[in-house]
Amino acid sequence: MMTTETPPRETEPVSGFWRLVPEPSLDVVRRWGWASVVVNIAIVVTGGLVRLTGSGLGCPTWPSCTDDSYVPHAELGIHGAIEFTNRMLGFVVAIVAILTWLVVMRYRPIRRDLRRLATAAALGVPLQGIIGGVSVLTGLNPWIVSAHFLVSPIIITLTVSMMRRSRTSPYPHTPPVVRALATASVVAVWLAVALGTLVTGAGPHSGDPETGRNGFDPDLVSQLHADVVFGLLGITIALVIATRVTATSRTLRKLAAWLLAIELLQGAVGFTQHFTGLPWGLVLVHMFLAGLLIALVTAVYGERGTPAT
């Protein structure tokens, strides 16, 4: 059974600057949402590459690369090039965020829920840039670096939520057990990601050979991280089963299955990297999969629908 409830919609006259922006369809809104998710996962990967190659201080200051130049010079070598490339991708992320925001603001009838999400995501981009600058100016303080990373998953969450809410079909009624498991999976994924930043902050890939670590025992935080991941797997297995034995939408069943598949792959990569000395290639894959997990679990949560009666 499906609910007929839809988000409130409003109309508003279009004037001034907004007349210059073509009126988009919801499909266009979703396409820009996809673009935002892609570039934010990409910057997770390039940011990881900066840290894993020891290029965190490849540009030793911020916002310029050096005291006298905004671009790296030959003396900075490959590390300067890697860090500068990551900074340039930040501008791409900003452009996509601004265009996504413009598209959502121009869409009619007005969707204030979409506007709030698009605005929050767009504001996250300069926030991340500022935190990134602070991380450079503090010599890659591991706590600041962790905060810098976590902004990307937050932006991905906001953008995927916006895309899910842009649907035109009614939201499905979903059994309480499925809704509870979907919510639990979100909590577990975020806890795993947060603990993952502590593992990184305690490990060898600091972004620069001279950078200090967060002081945690690497084995201890790695074990805590693994324990949460095992709990997440249990929750997701239960979710997959629940979606198949109850009256649940086909979309949610597929999303839950994909979530479990990516979790298993992520777990295999994490296990392998831990016992092979954290090779940076595997760590980079692990970070890419973390971005995918955030997007997937947000989609699962967004598809949980309304309580079944």
- Tell me: pLDDT of 54 over 90: no
- Per residue in 193-226, pLDDT (tens digit) is 999 999 988 877 766 667 778 888 889 999 999 9
- Tell me: pLDDT of 245 over 70: yes
Which residues make Cβ contacts (< 8 Å) with residue 239, sequence separation at least 6?
A: 178, 181, 182, 185, 256, 259, 260, 300
pLDDT value for 174: 86
- Per residue in 230-243, pLDDT (tens digit) is 999 999 999 999 99
Instruction: State the SS3 of 129-198.
Output: HHHHHHHHHCCCCHHHHHHHHHHHHHHHHHHHHHHHHCCCCCCEEECHHHHHHHHHHHHHHHHHHHHHHH
Which of the pair, 41 or 19, is modelled with greater confidence?
41
pLDDT value for 52: 86
Indicate whether 1 belongs to any domain.
no
Write down which residue in 129, 149, 168 finishes a domain. 168
Measured between alpha carbons, how far is 237 from 235 in angstroms, rounded to an integer? 6
Confidence of residue 55 (pLDDT cuts 50, 70, 90): confident
Measured between alpha carbons, how far is 119 from 277 in angstroms, rounded to an integer? 41
Indicate whether 295 belongs to any domain.
yes
Residues 191 and 261 in one domain: yes
State the total domains in the chain. Answer: 2
Write down which residue in 101, 134, 168 finishes a domain. 168
Residues 82 and 193 in one domain: no
Indicate whether 2 belongs to any domain.
no
Measured between alpha carbons, how far is 159 from 38 in angstroms, rounded to an integer? 10
- Per residue in 267-287, pLDDT (tens digit) is 999 999 988 988 889 999 999
φ/ψ of residue 141, rounded to 5:
-55, 125
Residues 72 and 158 in one domain: yes
Which of the pair, 212 or 12, is modelled with greater confidence?
212
* Mean pLDDT taken over the chain: 89
Residues 34 and 21 in one domain: yes
Residues 184 and 154 in one domain: no
Strand partners, 69: 66
- Tell me: pLDDT of 5 over 60: no
Residues 229 and 305 in one domain: yes
State the DSSP H helix or E strand holding residue 79, giving kind and residue range, or none if neither: helix 77-106
- Per residue in 141-188, pLDDT (tens digit) is 899 999 999 999 999 999 999 999 987 777 778 899 999 999 999 999
Measured between alpha carbons, how far is 154 from 114 in angstroms, rounded to an integer? 16
DSSP string, 28-47: HHHHHHHHHHHHHHHHHHHH
Which of the pair, 202 or 299, is modelled with greater confidence?
299
Residue 126 in contact with residue 88, Cβ under 8 Å?
Answer: no
- Tell me: pLDDT of 12 over 80: no
Write down which residue in 168, 194, 213 finishes a domain. 168
Entry pTM: 0.90
Lowest mean pLDDT among 34-48, 52-66, 259-273: 52-66
Indicate whether 185 belongs to any domain.
yes
Taking 3-state DSSP, the helix, strand and coil percentages for the chain, each rounded to the nearest 5, stand at 70, 5, 25
Residues 188 and 155 in one domain: no
Buried-state track 147-176, b at ≥16 Cβ within 10 A, e below 16: bbbbbbbbbbbbbbbbbbebeeeebbbbbe
Residues 153 and 224 in one domain: no
Measured between alpha carbons, how far is 270 from 152 in angstroms, rounded to an integer? 20
Confidence of residue 308 (pLDDT cuts 50, 70, 90): low
Which domain does 32 fall in, by range? Answer: 11-168
Residues 132 and 220 in one domain: no
pLDDT value for 15: 66
Residues 134 and 186 in one domain: no
Indicate whether 5 belongs to any domain.
no
- Tell me: pLDDT of 293 over 90: yes
Confidence of residue 94 (pLDDT cuts 50, 70, 90): very high
Residues 20 and 157 in one domain: yes
Reading the block at residue 299, the tokens are 């989609």
Query: Once rounded to an integer, what is the mean pLDDT over residues 56-71?
Result: 89
Confidence of residue 1 (pLDDT cuts 50, 70, 90): very low
Residues 200 and 103 in one domain: no
